[in-house]
Amino acid sequence: MEKIQVPIEGMTCAGCAARVEKRLKSLPGLSEVAVNIATGKATFTLSGEGTGLAEAAAAVADAGYKMVLPAPAAAPLSADAPRERDETGESLRRDLRTALLFAVPVFLISMGMELPFFQRRWPLSHETTAVLLFLLTTPVMFLPGARFFKIFWRNLRHFTADMNSLVAVGTGAAYGYSTLAALFPQLFGGSAVGHIYFDSAAVIITLILLGRWLEHRAKQRTGESIRALLALQPQNAAVRRGGVIVEIPLGDVIPGDRVVVRPGEKIAADGLIVAGASAVDEAMITGESLPVDKKPGDRVTGGTLNTTGALEFTVTAAGGDTVLARIIRLVEEAQGSKAPIQRLADRIAAVFVPVVVLIALLTLAAWMIIAGASLDRALVPFVAVLIIACPCALGLATPAAIVVGTGAGARQGILIKNGESLETAHKIDTLLIDKTGTITRGVPELSAVAAGNLTEYELLRLAASVEQMSEHPLARAVAAAAQERGISLMPCEEFISHTGAGVSGRIGGRLVRIGREEFMATGGIERSAWRERAERWSGEGKSLLYVAIDGRIEGLLAVADTIRPESAGAIQALRRRGIRVVMLTGDHPAAAAAIAAEAGVDDFIAGVHPEEKAEIVSREQRAGRVVAMVGDGINDAPALARADIGIAIGGGADVAVESAAITLLGGDLSRVVKAIDLSRRTLRTIKQNLFWAFIYNIVGIPLAALGLLNPMVAALAMSFSSVSVLANSLRLRFEPGLSGAKKESAAKKE
């Protein structure tokens, strides 16, 4: 099974997208088909059975469009890659200039001929003026307006219709009727001026081109998140080859290469540092505002920025296999997907154009038969109905919001798998959170120290001097705590590691033993004086280390997995949004209770094995709850997959995109709050877009049919309806809390 995303050329409205999608869905071997008019792309899963890419492209061509087949997988991603769109900004701009050049004088002359003072000063007769308007309008119809008629004839051959068909029929009817009246006025009683609508034809085409140009610019802005990610990649990399550093194109970098990164340069690929140390700015990948210190043995991610020192790393992934490439693919797939709310708009758009044509014909007949109007008088509401009907705004309402919403999330380190996930997230009422590495840091830390006859400083110095020789996680926690406090350590002699019990060694001639209570008991060391404190700390779920010096216990150290500083605030924010938060952990109930109390969760379940988490998710779902699961995306994979929304939280180098619907780069739990807020804001924007698109047509079409709407005003309103939907969607980029990473990054650079 292979997921494919390809551009489709020739689509100009929601009807086009619906037609391409219907054609692709009819092919065997294709599933999960979605065609997005906002991105101009089709996304589908190819099983390899029955239909290949070439057959899919042929089917799309048979429908009257063109599928742009993907480049070879080895080709590097590029921010400068050409945008495979039929209506580029340049062609629209050129056609718009041409249309304006001719349409403006047509409009001014036509309006002037309605004014007595203009008629007295105008040197040409009515008949000659009509011919002049014909000559000025014809270039508009057959140069910039040719695009509408080409698509109209293509649709006619396939027995289909779309928005371009409405424009072609409406302006074609106005132009054709006016041409007869101008060139053969005797057919209309000898006077042409009262029977021509060249201004409507020319101005309508000009206004629709203006709307499409503005729409094109707005669509480009919706795709800025992808272009921003692509722009993270450097164009070249400094690679060590044969002892010499050479600059090569990014596409030539392969796994195993040794890449040198100077201060201020972007890291070209994913890799493992082999030399040097520096602070790396990973804000654009993880959303973290502070640079991360890197040293030999640490991993680096392509697209991040090296700040202070020089680094040399061995490439582990390059080109399309890097973390950045995976993120880009994930965002593109999300932007190309459909949300469930879009199904209603799709069903309406599929039948919209035929219904509008029928309404327009009924309007023409009603004006001529019931109202007794002449053909030229009935032509005005007929054209207005065709022009005011705009399925484009309806078709853009959902995908535009999805594209902007997923892009806004990506800039905050929130990677959303598809539109359905983005929509569903707002319904969450229960959040199950794995404790270790999510609520807590995931690594043990020294949390408490109790000293007897020694000072806390002296106790830690002796204990850490021995523990520095051990690789045990608890030993590393003690040694790290001493280092953080600036305690200088002493050399250790006669070090012995007692497996599963503790360690011992001599510091300055004194025998230091550190370990569990059982380790002290085997040495016959008295412990009763420390029993009360040991029981209290054990009840809080902490791991205890006794410190004995020369056969006497001089202190007690407590080590625990401590809560992340942002966890409690994030959990309270979730609860304020009406979400019940439940912590899952494999820890002892006492340890779980302590963390649960500190984090402020509603409930917790302790002693849970990884395979049991999926059953807990199912149990909550059977109770009628909409469940999200937050975990590290590895041992929580079954629960993440079973939840209504799986949210994987972790570092940028190990994003769990397969099992989770949403992936959060970095370990900040507050991004869960942002993801849910983003879902709610996106859904609100979609509903606003759909409301205005529906209201626009519900109100506009009757007004046009009753003759209360001038066709040129209808064209102006139609053009700006799509632009307004896009503009409303773009507001998501500037919603509070969704542009913070950008501001933090800018402030940091200043």
Q: Spell out the residues 6+ positions from residue 560 whose beta carbon is closer than 8 angstroms to its own.
A: 444, 445, 447, 540, 541, 542, 543, 591
The reply to whether 434 belongs to the active site is yes
* Contact status, residue 17 vs residue 11, Cβ threshold 8 Å: yes
Q: By the 8 A CB rule, do 669 and 649 touch?
A: yes
Q: For 408, what's the count of Cα atoms within 13 Å in the CB-facing half-sphere?
A: 27
Count of other CB atoms within 10 angstroms of residue 743: 10
- Residue given tokens 């094109």 in the structure block: 216
Alpha carbon distances (Å) from 377 to 169, 174, 197, 366, 380: 17, 11, 11, 12, 6
Pairing outcome for strands 430-434 and 627-631: parallel
User: Cβ distance 701 to 381 under 8 Å?
Assistant: no
| Dist. CA 512–CA 505, nearest whole Å | 5
682 φ, ψ to 5°? Answer: -65, -45
Contact 187, 178 (CB under 8 A): no
Q: Quickly list DSSP for 671-706.
A: HHHHHHHHHHHHHHHHHHHHHHHHHHHHHHHHHHHT
Report strand pairing: 270-276 vs 299-300: antiparallel
**DSSP conformation letters of 136-189:** HHHHHHHTTTHHHHHHHHHHHHTT---HHHHHHHHHHHHHHHHHHHHH-GGGGT
Report whether 481 contacts 464 (CB < 8 A): yes
Q: How far is CA 55 from CA 5, 26, 48, 159, 245, in A?
A: 15, 12, 11, 22, 46
Strand runs labelled E in 550-615: 552-563, 580-584, 603-605
Burial of 121 (0-12, 13-18, 19+ CB in 10 A): exposed
Side-chain half-sphere CA neighbours of 271 within 13 A: 30
- C-alpha distances (whole Å) from 422 to each of 223, 395, 399, 452, 688 are 17, 18, 12, 56, 16
HSE toward the beta carbon, residue 382, CA cutoff 13 A: 25
Burial of 48 (0-12, 13-18, 19+ CB in 10 A): exposed
Evaluated on CA atoms 146, 395, 718, 210, the torsion sign reads negative
| DSSP per-residue codes, 473-492 | HHHHHHHHHHHHTTPPP---
Task: Give the tokens for residue 90.
Answer: 């340049």
Exactly one of 199, 270, 346, 434 is catalytic; name it. Answer: 434
**C-beta separation of 716 from 393 below 8 A:** no
Interaxial angle between packed helices 391-411 and 670-705, expressed in degrees from 0 to 180 and rounded to the nearest 10: 170
Angle at 4 between CA 3 and CA 8, to 5 degrees: 155
Please give the positions annotated as active site: 434
